[in-house]
Amino acid sequence: MMEEIHDNYGNLLGTQEKSTTVTVEAGVGNLVVFMFDVEFQKAKATERLTFVRDQSGRMRLWKFELT
């Protein structure tokens, strides 16, 4: 997936954090969402990373979105 992003957008030039949100979803648990404004060689975008805490207590990437 990262190779495809690089092929489509070019090198990453910079990032700026937009927000961080912590929520509790029934049946899923604690979710932590990080949003960044990102600038690539060919375009600007918003990156959203959603993490969930697994049963061992470790945070795992649950969802990745680039719009």
Give the pTM: 0.80
Q: Tell me the average pLDDT across 3-23.
A: 93
Helix (H) / strand (E) containing 22: strand 12-25
Which residue, among 13, 9, 62, has the nearest Cα to 34 in the 3D structure?
Answer: 62
SS3 of the chain: helix, strand, coil, percent, to 5: 10, 65, 20
Give per-residue pLDDT as tens, 20-64: 998 887 777 789 999 999 999 999 999 999 999 877 888 999 999
